[in-house]
Amino acid sequence: MNAFWLLENIDVTHLLCPTKLGNDEHMSHVTHQTFKKGNPVYVPAEMADRIFFISEGKVKIASMNDEGKEITKAILGKGEVFGENALLGEGQRRDFATALEDTTACVVTLDELRSLMRERSELNLFFMRMFGARQLDMERRLESLVFRDSRSRIVEFLYNRVLQKGERVGYEWVLRNFITHQEIANLTATSRQTVTTTLNDLRAKKLLTFNRSRLLVRDMDKLAAEIRH
């Protein structure tokens, strides 16, 4: 169950990314756009007047520091929202949004979304919860960067991502659409080699298995115990 799309059991899919627009006057400005792998969705200084809802694919949100180094802030997949800072008064984009694979998104203008939010109270709650969840996630990542070593950052990231985006199957947890080792490294400020070494070590301990499409955690408690405090 996706942590953002159905956040707190609020299903807003039919409002934000309908498969058939029909004659709903409130959806007159919803468009579906496709972005090829590697292409930008938006770049810094671009006008922040649209909100995006991923229906297929994967998008990276990143920024550039003063030294020209890219900082990955989030990697988002099917059912997730981005560009939402426009709702907070962001006039121009400050981040990059790049398609990591061929991606299709529903695009709603800011004015249209505000109109919907005035009429649909569940949308207001949805975005309030989403902003809160993302703020907590950024704070958790910052604390991990300051207080944990590289291996623990990776393990903690895996644990939290499985809880947020995974599905419980009996005593195990399955995370589908598993991201690449390099993407994990970007999100944890580590190296791809360290990610690979950590994952192989956890697999050798029989705590998890993985391939390019999914991660299976056999025991979440034992995985959490691998995080050094």
Residues 85, 172, single domain; the answer is no
CA 184 to the chain's CA centroid: 12
Question: What is the residue type of 124?
Answer: N
Hey, what are 66's tokens?
């003063």
Q: Which domain holds residue 190?
A: 148-225
pLDDT tens column, 192-208: 999 999 999 999 999 99
- CATH number for the domain spanning 172: value is 1.10.10.10
Note the pLDDT of residue 19: 59
Instruction: Give CA–CA dist 91/48, Å, rounded.
Output: 5
Question: What is the residue type of 160?
Answer: N
Residues with pLDDT less than 50, the chain: 1-9, 20-23, 26
- Among the candidates 144, 159, 190, a domain finishes at 144
Note the pLDDT of residue 79: 85
Instruction: Give CA–CA dist 28/133, Å, rounded.
Output: 30
Residues 125, 176, single domain; the answer is no
Residues 105, 187, single domain; the answer is no
Residues 165, 137, single domain; the answer is no
pLDDT tens column, 137-179: 888 888 888 889 999 999 999 999 999 889 999 999 999 989 9
Quick check: is 2 in a domain?
no
DSSP string, 180-204: PHHHHHHHHT--HHHHHHHHHHHHH
Q: What's the pTM?
A: 0.80
**What does the DSSP 8-state code read for residue 160?**
H
Buried b (16+ CB within 10 A) or exposed e, 79-106: bbbbbbebbeebeebebbbbbbeebbbb
Note the pLDDT of residue 28: 53
Closest CA to 8 of 125, 157, 140: 125
- CATH number for the domain spanning 87: value is 2.60.120.10
